[in-house]
Structure 1
Amino acid sequence: MADSIQRLHAAVLAARHADPALSRTARLAGEGLPKMAKKLAEEAFEVGLEAVQGERHRTIQESADLLYNLVVLWSEMGIAPADVWHEMDRREQLYGIAEKLPKERRKAQARRIAAAAPLLRAGG
């Protein structure tokens, strides 16, 4: 799977500069991050909707669309798949592969980031 995502990422990076009239990826790149985020949210909703309706095949198809849009968003933000894999490895070491970062810890991280933001803006 990681190989497929890596190949998709490379293809997205290459397609970003294609003719937007011919390339969905180039069109999304031209529309900017807000449009990319909106498309990602739409695809996530569609995955959930198909799953709730018990549509296994459609859930698979929408999941592929979701992954595509996620990789497009990553490419816009300068995120490589390896960056995400490193974070997943880090979390596995802390919590196990089938767990996600506890919400309380995320809230504490957000508070630390918010507290540091004025220092970063001031150059300190």
Structure 2
Amino acid sequence: MTDVLEELYQTVLSRKENQVEGSYTCYLFEKGIDKILKKCGEECSEVIIAAKNGDNEETVLEISDLLYHLVVLMANEGISYEAVQAELSKRSEKAGNLKQFHQVDKNS
């Protein structure tokens, strides 16, 4: 089975290493971390708005935009796809293992 996010990551890395004229990804790398972070923030807000509006089709589009910009951020910062995969795998092993929260006795 093909991992679309991994393919996206490899494409983004390729754009980082080999500038392609007219590429939006190359434009983001050229503008740098501030622009990349701004786009991540904008897309995150758009996901929230679409979800709040109950528009699943729009939410899917915005989640896709957010994931793309997060992948650009990863590539820009030298964060490997494998590192994120490993962290998610580690977290999945903890499924169903809720943290116990400190309970305050309000009667005392």
* Alpha-carbon separation, structure 1, partners of 2:32 and 2:96: 33
Q: Check if 1:57 corresponds to 2:57.
A: yes
**Runs of 5+ consecutive residues of structure 1 not aligned to the other structure:** 105-124
Identity across aligned pairs (percent)? 33
Deviations 1:35-63 (A, max 9, x none): 11111111011011001011111111111
Cα RMSD of the aligned pairs, angstroms, is: 2.4
> What is the Cα deviation at residue 2 of structure 1?
7.3
| Aligned twin of 2:5 | 5
**Runs of 5+ consecutive residues of structure 2 not aligned to the other structure:** 102-108
* Alpha-carbon separation, structure 2, partners of 1:57 and 1:98: 32
The structure where helix makes up a greater share of residues is 1
Greater RCO, 1 or 2 (C-alpha within 8 Å, sep 6+): 2
* Alpha-carbon separation, structure 2, partners of 1:47 and 1:89: 25
Residues 1:89 and 1:41: Cα distance change in structure 2 (over 3 Å) = same
Name segments (4+ residues, structure 1) moved above 4 Å: none
TM-score by length of 1: 0.71
| Contact preservation (8 Å) 1:50, 1:58 | yes
Residues 1:41 and 1:58: Cα distance change in structure 2 (over 3 Å) = same
| Aligned twin of 1:46 | 46
> What is the Cα deviation at residue 97 of structure 1?
7.1
> What is the Cα deviation at residue 34 of structure 1?
1.6
Deviations 1:60-92 (A, max 9, x none): 111110110000000001112111111112222
| Aligned twin of 1:89 | 89
* Alpha-carbon separation, structure 1, partners of 2:7 and 2:97: 25
TM-score by length of 2: 0.81
